[in-house]
Amino acid sequence: MILSIGGLKVSSRPQARDLLHLHRQNRTSSLSLSLQRGKDFLELNLLTGRHGYPYAPETDHHLGMIFMGAGFRPSLLEDLKALITNQQARNVLLLSSPLVKPVFLQLLRESSLFGGIQIQVEVPENRYFGGNICLGDLLVVQDFIDGIREYLRKNPPPDLVVIPSSPFSLGQWRRDLEGRVFTEIERSVGLPVALLGCEPIYD
């Protein structure tokens, strides 16, 4: 686990990737890294000019590091606050994925943007693919509808449901993998639904 890059504390995968990309663009010759491997803490000095196969600086953007999954970029918190403010919501349901939920909850705890706003984070079950799928990009309209209905069986209705836009990246009409438009969710559950602009995970 990467704890810091160049002396800057790392709190998420996207932040680590952005920092490594920045150092690569700036052609930093050496870079300090703080890592945790199991129970061991390591301080390393990465010499970026020394490398070998399979790393190729012409095509790699993260100084040879490979990330398992990506996730919620901290800058999206401001976009989320704008969505909530525009809807004048106080009680919000955010639907996420198993990969992003812990990162989002940590960022939410550290943020002062959401005073007086209750945000509940839930993970809808991926029934379309089934199994142990953990990428939210692979959820479909029906997965979100089912997830909201299950939430409503145990909780009062929220003022707003927020869904990442990345599962709806097909075409200008924002279709899912089945070709269904995201607006079907709002019509089916009878609650306002807003998309939080997120890029699909390809990294």
pTM > 0.75: yes or no: no
Position with higher pLDDT, 123 vs 10: 123
The reply to whether omega before 164 is within 30° of 0 (cis) is no
Q: Does residue 202 fall inside a structural domain?
A: no
Average pLDDT over all residues of the chain = 85
What do you get for the CA distance between the two ends of the chain, in Å? Answer: 18
The string of DSSP letters for 94-138 reads: EE--TTTHHHHHHHHHH-STTTT-EEEEE----TTT-TT---GGG
pLDDT exceeds 80 at position 73? no
Using pLDDT thresholds of 50, 70 and 90, give the confidence band for residue 72. Answer: low
Range of the domain at 102: 76-196
Please tell me the total count of domains within the chain: 2
Q: Which domain-ending residue is among 41, 68, 95?
A: 68
Tokens 């919501």, located at residue: 89
CATH number at residue 43: 2.30.42
pLDDT at position 202, please?
Answer: 45
Look at residue 58 and tell me whether its pLDDT is greater than 70. no
Q: What is the mean pLDDT of residues 40-66?
A: 76
Report DSSP state, residue 91: E
pLDDT digits (tens, 9 = 90+) for 188-202: 999 999 999 876 554
Supply the pLDDT for residue 95: 95
CATH of the domain at 170: 3.40.50
Residue-wise pLDDT for 157-190, tens only, equals 999 999 999 888 877 788 998 999 999 999 999 9
